[in-house]
Structure formats: structure tokens, C-alpha cells
Amino acid sequence: MDAHLIVSPPPHLKSGETAHCLMFDVLIASLPIIFASVIFFGPHTLWIMFLSVSSAVATEVLIQIVFKSPGFAFRPFFYNLLTNEDITILDGSALVTGLLLSFTLPPGSPWWIPVAGSFVAIAVGKQAFGGVGYNIFNPALVGRAFLLAAWPVETTAWTATLRWEAWICSLSLSPQSWIVDGVTTATPLALLKLQNQPTPLFQLVAGNTAGCLGETSAIAILIGASYLLYKGTITWHIPCSFIGTVIPVSLLLGKDPVFNVFAGGLLLGAFFMATDVVTSPVTKWGRIVFGVGAGMITTIIRIYGAYPEGVCYAILLMNSLTPLIDRYAARTYQPSDENLGA
Amino acid sequence: MPTFSRRNLFPPRLGGGAWSKPSQKAGIPERVIIPFQEAISMPCKITVHEGDRVKAGEKIGFMGNGDTCIAVHASTSGRVDQIAPMPHPLGFNALSVVIASDGKDEGVEAKPLGASGIGSNKEKMFEALREMGIPLNYPLLAKTGFAVSRLLINATEFEPPLTSGHHLIKEHGPHIIEGLKVLLSACSASQAVILIEKDRPSLIKTLKGFGSEVPAITIRGVNHPYPDTAVGYLAKKLFSKKPYRITADRRTEVMTVDLSSLFAIYNAWFWGMPLTEQLITVVGSAIPNPQNSWVKIGTPLANLVQSAGGTSSPLGQITLGGPLMGLPQSSLEVPIIKKTKGVCASVALLFDERRRSRFYKRVPCIKCAKCVDVCPVSIIPNLIADFIDNRFFSDAARRGVFLCAECGLCEYVCPSRIPLLELMKLGKVSLKGEQSLLTQSNLKLLS
């Protein structure tokens, strides 16, 4: 009995999961959010999402062709795009970044807002640090912060939810009638902060309020989040500590905790943005510290800051602390402990 | 992987075929190869010569010296064919005795240790166990004056397809408890903890049923199986109030024993049989009939594969041990050694590099922390691997690279396909030289 046997290092068993599985899980989980945004803000939101995603993917391809793959063969273009190993669009991270960025944009944004935001998100937020896995800040939130600083008027021009029957009745063959002409209004947080006018809880949970594309419907976000938690793509530590900090801190400062949880981008930020694997700590206690810090900063910005919304900056600030948290949340060992495991 | 199915961090239990069948006795092989060395240039003494006739269970020499000395027995009757260096599972050529079997399997006269009246003298008792070829931690016993305070028995099956340990409990539960009682009285230990998975309630019931009369025996259910190499860490975690601040002499009081040794103690004590047989699971994609069987120590792997219905033509890889920690073998002439739990044989198709998609190649770490969540000894594999990749070895040591039990779970879950386990081994070798490789010390313990 003789055989040519293969000798390879253990383990010989692999779970079969790859990095793009995690990214496409986020994509599947955001399907209810896309659906809710179309219902509440009209089909124009799909156009914004498409612009944002395609700009993100195009930016990634452009930068990788220029900097990582100078010998890229342009013919046949699509074949090489999908098979060249230096072009990493197939891992889905640019797609997810573009989609999450579009969730933080107002439904009535002009076309160049998502395009410019995705370009900055990928070019500055991700590729400038070395690509996927090396970025310090959540790229989608980098794009959002850039847009908020560069075009404050366009990125805070909120429109009220779409009245479908009126819109369908006015449809005609001319493309002018397809555009949704929303009524300008304010988000629940801004209403409370500037005019001291609360929004009914049912509207907040269902999502029938003004706000960014993806943040208004709490139900859709929770459905997507439960899928992510079920699949094990995210763990409960960051969302629970994030939301669990906002509730007591807003109670302590004399605000309505339930309103603070369901209004604004807290749920979207806690389940989809803060749990970004690359920019959050690796240890369990580190994740809890991350969530608590983000929750405190969010509440403080919301109550005392100039902006009505603070989730974006809270997560970005905690992202910058992630290496520090990782450094101190892990145990260190003395040289005398080195035979501990044997 | 199905898109909507739930993802588990731990590998699923495979090998249902071997678990549902009762264990069987393997046939007597034409020849057995009994290695006398467990490490390169280990001292040994062979008391038989080429051409001698030996009986099953006859002492044919001993290996090691001083405290590590342990007797070696012929596992079947026959003629000593050859005394020469032969391939050892660890990858070197060890001095071995090859016995050509006569097929009769005649045994020597059995003298039960329990009837010989040595129960009062601890030193003589352990000397007798040593003569029976039962692998225990003799250096620790000698150091503590044959009085360890605690025993830790890892009855969990870490390798997903192997079930030999659980079969031993299922079929010989009372005998294992008897062996444990003998060992408890021999080393005057105050506590013995048996770890077993919670998802095997029938085995917990068996052990509790027989072990309840002895108050020193505790059966403890754990959620996930632990590798044998992590039991040192586990002992600290179980028995110490401050597991991370513990002095050297306190932790050495815990002795870890495995199930096959307990069963061998029972056999030696009540029936006078030395350790010449081993319960082994034979599984894998190249094995048509996965099974648990009692095989003679020294049986070549080729016999095992044949008796389980496998042939050499589709065989791509064969490992001693399961698919997570098993050692791949380069030859089918390698013998089974003491403490082997199973053999896993896979077909060659699985190793075809050309079939590998580019998604299954190494990409940068995305810090998903799955390796951190799954690590049985609570270190941060991705950080340590990053240090070692960039040659910051002292930082890797500070983050606990020497705690690594080399179980391979981190590499199993890694979605970025980073060779975490190889990087850990590289760090250990670079820091301490080849002697620090756990596979070496571990297999000294395993063999």
C-alpha cells in the first residue's frame, strides 16, 4: 500500500467563511432599510443609493488601477476588473461603504452629493490608509462628515415623507413629473431642540418622519440588525452598550430616553456603523468601552452641542480611540508566565 | 456556505457514523512497529534481540531515564524481526522494534497489581504502573513526593470527528471511575475534576451514576471542548482564585490525566494487563466505514485504513489526530502510539490548489475578532500574528504567544485566511528556539 501523501500544517479544517461573506451579510441586512426608504421617501432614494454605490466602486477601481496595479490590462475591461487580484471590488466593502453613506444622506440630495461623498469616503477614508483592513475611521462616516462640513445647507435640507397618492396622480410622460418635490421640514431631533416640539413615538418607530434615507424607520433597522446578530456578523456588545448608555445619560440630563433612542440615527449608527469590524475594538470589554463612549458623546452632542445629531461624530471620535482601547483592554503577560499553557 | 444559515464559531460535530456504532476489535496486523523514542536522541534500552520470540504484554525494554522512564511492552506475540530506526509520527526516525506477528496473540501470565499487596506503598505503586507502561506525569509525581492535590481529566473531544474518548466512557464508564479511584488513593489527591461537554447528557449521567459515591470526584459540564494542550491553562482557571497571578509551585500540584490512561490503570490494577491496546477512531473522507476500534499499539496506519474499508488510491492526507490539531504523516508505515485518539484520512481532491478561488487566499486582517472570541486560552491571535508578521517578537511574548495551545481554532474561523497558527509557531521558534515548539513538548506528552 503506497500513496503520495500531502503534508500540510494544521489545521486541516476551515470554516469556509471569507471576508466578503461578512460584507454581503451587511448588504442583505440593509434590504429592509432600502425597502422602508423607498416607501417613505419615494423611488428617488434608489437613484441616490445607486449614485453613491457606483461612485464608491468606481473610486476604488480608479485608485487601485493607479496605485496598486500599474500594469492593469484594459482590454477586456470587465473581465480584468473581476479577475485582477489587485482590484478588490468583489469583496463588497466599497459597495457596503457606498450604501451606508447613502443611508446618511437627506432624501432630496442633488446628484453630486452622494458622488462627492463616496469619493471622499473611499479615497480619504479607506484607500489613503492602505485599503480594507487598515482604515482607522469608518469610511462611510468620513464621507458623511466631509459632506456636512463642505455643503451644510444641502446635507441638512430634510424633506417630509412622500405622499404616494398625490405623486402617482401627478405622474405623466415628462421626466419632470417623476422627480419627487418634497416639502422642506425638520427632523424630530431638530424640532425638539429648536422648537421644543416632540414627535409621536409611533411615527418614530415606523419611520414616518423627516430624516436621512436609512435612519428613520426603527422597525426596518431592527429587522436588519436581528439578521446580523443571528448570523453572528456583529456581536451584541457594541449596540447594547451604545444604546444602553444613551438611555441613562439622557434620563440623568432630564430628557426623554425613548425619544432619544428612536429619533435620529442612533439605531442605524449603533447596529450598522459602530459595529464596522475594522474600526471597532477586538476584545469584548473593549467593545463595551467603545459603545459606552460613543453613547455618552452622542447624548452630550445632542443635548449641549450646536448640532441636533451627534451619532456620526461620536462614532468617529471613538474610532480614533480604538487602537488605545485595544492596547489596554488586552491582558499582558510577564516572561515568567511563558510556560503557562504547556 | 448557505447564505441564510446560522454561522457557528466552533466546528460542527462530524463523524456521526462512528458515534452511533459500538466499538469493535481490530484484527491482528502482520507486524507491529513499537517505537522506543519519543524525541530525537532520547535514551532507551531494548532487552530483546532480533530473532527472539515474544508474547503479548511482555516487557521488551524501556525508554527514557530517571523520572521519565517508562516500560515498553510487545503488543502482540511473535518474533522480533528487526531492531532499526523507523518513521515515528513526530517526523523523525525513532529506534523501533518490529515484531512479526504469529497471529496467535498469546499473552503472558497476568498478575493483577491490586492482588499483590502493594496498595500501601505509594512509591511501589507508581513503580508498578510505570512497569505496566501507563503514561502519567511521573516527573511531577516524583517532585511532589507522590502527592498531588488535584487531578484534572479532560474528557471533552476537541477534534470534531473523533469520538474515541466518549466511546470509552459510554462502554467502560464504571471501569474508568474504578481506575480514577485507584489513582486518587495512590496519589492521595483531594479532588478530581472531569470535564465533559454539556451536549452529551447521557455520558454525564453515566459518569455521575458511577462517580457519585466518591465525594472527591466532580463532573463538570463545559460549553465547548478544550484541547488537551490547554488543560494547563484550564487547571489554573479552575483551581485558582487568581488565575493570572499564580506562583510556579502552586500550579504544579494539578496533574492532568487522560481517559485512556485511567482505563489502562483499571486494567493493570484488576486484571494485570499492561497498556498494549488503544481505542482509536478512524474517520475522514477517504474512509467508507468510520469506526472506533481497539488496535494494538504499533499497528501501521496502512492496516487501519484497510480495516476501515479505505484504499490508498484516493488518499490525499492522513493525520494522526483529528483535522484541527492532527499531525500529517508522510508515510503509511507510521505506527499508532500511546495516547493516539484517532486517525483522520482525507481524499486528495480536497487539496487541489488549482480549485481554490481567489476569495480563499490571504487578505489583510479585517479585525473581525472571531479569533479572539473563539480562543480557548483568551489571547488575541490577530494582534500577536500581526506582531510576529512584522518581527516584533518581544511584543508577541508580552501578549501571551507562549499561552497559545496551538489548537487551530483561530485559523479555522479566520475569514481573511491568515495562517495564524503558523505565525504563532514562528514566533515561538524565533523567541525560544525549536525546543519551545508546543508540538514537540505536546507530542512528548501525547506519545
CATH of the domain at B228: 3.40.50.11540
Contact A236, A225 (CB under 8 A): no
CB of B384 less than 8 A from some CB of A: no
A19-29 and A218-231 helices cross at what angle (nearest 10)? 150
Q: Which of A200-204, A313-317, B65-69, B256-260 has the highest mean pLDDT?
A: A313-317
- Same domain? B365 vs B315: no
- Enter the C-alpha cell of residue A48: 441616490
- Same domain? B143 vs B266: yes
Residue B383 has pLDDT above 70, yes or no: yes
- Same domain? B136 vs B239: yes
Which of these three, B217, B239, B270, is where a domain ends? B270
- Same domain? B130 vs B224: yes
CB of B420 less than 8 A from some CB of A: no
Rounded to two decimals, the pTM is 0.89
- Same domain? B234 vs B150: yes
Residue B56 lies in a domain: no
Residue B152 lies in a domain: yes
Condensed to tens digits (0 to 9), the pLDDT of residues B302-348 reads 989 888 887 777 788 899 888 888 888 888 889 999 888 899 988 87
Out of A6, A235, A338, the one facing B351 most closely (by C-beta) is A6
Determine the Cα angle at B127 with ends B125 and B132, to 5°: 95
Condensed to tens digits (0 to 9), the pLDDT of residues B157-178 reads 888 888 898 899 999 989 999 9
- Same domain? B309 vs B187: no
Residues of chain B with Cβ-Cβ distance to A330 below 8 Å are 380, 383, 399
Residue B245 lies in a domain: yes
Pairing label, strands B31-35, B93-101: antiparallel
Among A12, A21, A90, A229, the strongest candidate for a mutation testing the B interface, having the largest count of B CBs within 10 A, is A12
pLDDT score of A224 = 95
Condensed to tens digits (0 to 9), the pLDDT of residues A101-145 reads 999 999 888 999 999 999 999 999 999 998 888 999 999 999 999
Out of A7, A18, A131, the one facing B359 most closely (by C-beta) is A18
- Same domain? B183 vs B144: yes
For residue B187, give how far its alpha carbon lies from the nearest alpha carbon of chain A (Å): 22
Give the residue carrying C-alpha cell 470587465: A78
CB of A2 less than 8 A from some CB of B: yes
Out of B330, B346, B369, the one facing A7 most closely (by C-beta) is B330
Condensed to tens digits (0 to 9), the pLDDT of residues B183-216 reads 888 888 888 899 999 988 889 998 888 878 888 8
Residue B353 has pLDDT above 70, yes or no: no
pLDDT score of A148 = 92
Average pLDDT over chain A, rounded to an integer:
88
C-alpha span between B341 and B170 (Å, rounded)? 15
C-alpha span between A66 and A92 (Å, rounded)? 20
Among A93, A290, A337, the strongest candidate for a mutation testing the B interface, having the largest count of B CBs within 10 A, is A337
C-alpha span between B175 and A23 (Å, rounded)? 52
Contact between B421 and A11 using a beta-carbon 8 Å cutoff: yes
Please, what are the domains in chain A?
A: 19-326 (1.10.3430)
- Same domain? B193 vs B290: no
Q: Report percent pLDDT > 70 for chain A.
A: 94
Contact between B421 and A21 using a beta-carbon 8 Å cutoff: no
Q: How many domains are contained in chain B?
A: 3
For residue B322, give how far its alpha carbon lies from the nearest alpha carbon of chain A (Å): 9
CB contacts < 8 A (A, B)? 200
- Same domain? B320 vs B418: no
C-alpha distances (whole Å) from B266 to each of B112, B171, B316 are 10, 14, 38
Residues of chain A with Cβ-Cβ distance to B406 below 8 Å are 10
Which of A26-40, B133-147, B407-421 bottoms out in mean pLDDT, i.e. has the lowest?
B133-147
- Same domain? B309 vs B175: no
Residue B358 has pLDDT above 80, yes or no: no
Which of these three, B295, B328, B354, is where a domain ends? B354
B283 has which bridge partners?
B344
Which of A178-182, B339-343, B377-381 bottoms out in mean pLDDT, i.e. has the lowest?
A178-182
Q: Report percent pLDDT > 90 for chain B.
A: 21
Which of A45-49, A80-84, A325-329, B12-16 bottoms out in mean pLDDT, i.e. has the lowest?
B12-16
Residues of chain B with Cβ-Cβ distance to A15 below 8 Å are 7, 11, 412-413, 415
Contact between B7 and A11 using a beta-carbon 8 Å cutoff: no
Residue B98 lies in a domain: no
CATH of the domain at B313: 3.10.20.600
C-alpha span between B113 and B206 (Å, rounded)? 26
Which of these three, B339, B354, B369, is where a domain ends? B354
pLDDT score of A341 = 40
CB of B398 less than 8 A from some CB of A: yes
Residue A7 has pLDDT above 80, yes or no: yes
Out of A10, A278, A280, the one facing B408 most closely (by C-beta) is A10
What residues have CB less than 8 Å from A16, skipping those under 6 apart?
B1
Contact between A11 and B360 using a beta-carbon 8 Å cutoff: no
Average pLDDT over residues B137-141: 83
Condensed to tens digits (0 to 9), the pLDDT of residues A224-255 reads 999 999 998 999 999 999 999 999 999 999 88
Residue B416 lies in a domain: yes
pLDDT score of A119 = 96
Residues of chain B with Cβ-Cβ distance to A8 below 8 Å are 317, 328, 351
Residue B204 lies in a domain: yes
- Same domain? B146 vs B262: yes
CB of B368 less than 8 A from some CB of A: yes
pLDDT score of B444 = 42
Contact between B380 and A282 using a beta-carbon 8 Å cutoff: yes
Under the banding of pLDDT at 50, 70 and 90, the label for residue B9 is confident
- Same domain? B132 vs B200: yes
C-alpha span between A214 and A204 (Å, rounded)? 13
Q: What are phi and psi of B328, to 5 degrees?
A: -70, 140
**What is the ipTM score, two decimals?**
0.88
Which of A124-133, A184-193, B43-52 bottoms out in mean pLDDT, i.e. has the lowest?
A184-193
B152 has which bridge partners?
B193, B256
Please give the residue range of the domain that contains residue B215.
113-270
C-alpha span between B426 and A340 (Å, rounded)? 18
Scan residues 211-250 of B and list those with Cβ closer than 8 Å to A.
229-230, 232-233, 236, 244, 248
Residue B286 lies in a domain: yes
Residue B67 lies in a domain: no
C-alpha span between A216 and A191 (Å, rounded)? 14
What residues have CB less than 8 Å from B330, skipping those under 6 apart?
A5, A7, B87, B91
C-alpha distances (whole Å) from B333 to each of A4, B41, B88, B91, B278 are 13, 21, 9, 12, 18
Residue B445 has pLDDT above 60, yes or no: no
